[in-house]
């Protein structure tokens, strides 16, 4: 089954403790992206990657890191999480960009930082 | 001005009625537009996309695009309670590398 898999689904952590949210897709998609979703603010892009070893900042990259060493994986790293990073996170992928390449979303990771 | 704007709602319609959801965008260079549906706590799922002026129909859904006026709309015919969700409008902006989402319109279909 074609899908984007994120893990974990739920994560509670404390301020400053490094964490990684994994994302993997099995559709051979070139484009991958991370979003966070907050009430009233909608989905905001954190980072995106157009191909292996090619990543770029989205709208809200501060406090986050990503890497794209393999086509299928695009982990999101929080080196020193803070409470303002409490949010619902989505990984997404697409074949490319544009009308013929809609984003496919993972199931989300609900992160709480205390 | 936000790049993609939607009325947050909630928009309430009776079962069987037509629901009309609207979206405006600021980037005249935007070419591709998407409508996603999101149930509470779930991930967004694609309903349809449109990139040409005019109407595009898919089952009970019709997307409409007017590039001159910079708006996109989604019509849902014969609305069902299962259509109750938040509808997200999205457009590729900033040269096409970023899919920017509106904050979503909450739709409630009442029995």
Question: Is A28 exposed, middle or buried, given 0-12, 13-18 or 19+ CB atoms closer than 10 A?
Answer: exposed
Please give the pLDDT value at position A95. Answer: 87
Query: CA A2: distance to chain centroid?
Result: 18
Q: Which residues contact B55 (CB under 8 A, 6 or more apart)?
A: B62, B63, B64
Please give the pLDDT value at position A2. Answer: 80
Residue bearing tokens 């949010």: A87
Nearest CA in chain B to A106: B43
pLDDT digits (tens, 9 = 90+) for A61-78: 999 999 999 999 999 999
> Could you tell me which residues of chain B have a Cβ less than 8 Å from any Cβ in chain A?
8, 31-32, 34, 41-46, 49-51, 88, 90, 92, 96-104
CB < 8 Å to B49, chain A: 99, 102
Residue contact A103–B99, C-beta within 8 A = yes
Contact of B79 with B102, CB cutoff 8 Å: no
Average pLDDT, chain B: 92
**What confidence tier does B97 reach under pLDDT thresholds 50, 70, 90?**
low
pLDDT digits (tens, 9 = 90+) for B53-96: 999 999 999 999 999 999 999 999 999 999 999 999 999 876 66
Please give the pLDDT value at position A98. Answer: 65
Please give the pLDDT value at position B95. Answer: 63
Mutate which: B34, B53, B99, B105, vs A, most A CBs within 10 A: B99
Average of per-residue pLDDT across A52-67:
94
Where is pLDDT greater, at B93 or A79? A79
Neighbours of B104 (CB within 10 A): 25
Residue contact A102–B102, C-beta within 8 A = no
Q: What number of C-beta contacts closer than 8 Å exist between A and B?
A: 57
pLDDT digits (tens, 9 = 90+) for A17-52: 999 999 999 999 999 999 999 998 989 999 999 999
């Amino acid at each position: 089954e074609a899908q984007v898999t994120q893990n974990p689904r739920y994560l509670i952590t404390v301020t400053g403790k490094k964490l990684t949210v994994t994302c993997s897709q099995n559709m051979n998609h070139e484009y991958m992206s991370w979003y966070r979703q907050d009430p009233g603010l909608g989905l905001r892009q954190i980072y995106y990657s157009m191909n292996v070893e090619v990543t770029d900042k989205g709208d809200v990259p501060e406090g986050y890191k990503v890497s794209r060493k393999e086509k299928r994986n695009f982990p999101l790293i929080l080196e020193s999480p803070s409470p303002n990073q409490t949010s619902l996170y989505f990984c997404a992928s697409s074949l490319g960009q544009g009308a013929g390449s809609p984003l496919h979303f993972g199931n989300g990771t609900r992160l709480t930082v205390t | 001005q936000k790049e993609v704007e939607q009325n947050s709602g909630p928009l309430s319609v009776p079962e069987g009625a037509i629901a009309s959801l609207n979206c405006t965008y600021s980037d005249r260079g935007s070419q591709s537009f998407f409508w996603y549906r999101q149930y509470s706590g779930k991930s967004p799922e694609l309903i349809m996309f449109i990139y040409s002026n005019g109407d595009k129909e898919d089952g009970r859904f019709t997307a409409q695009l007017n590039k001159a006026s910079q708006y996109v709309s989604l019509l849902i015919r014969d609305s069902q309670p299962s259509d109750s969700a938040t509808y997200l409008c999205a457009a590729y902006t900033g040269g096409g590398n970023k899919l920017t989402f509106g904050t979503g319109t909450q739709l409630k279909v009442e029995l």
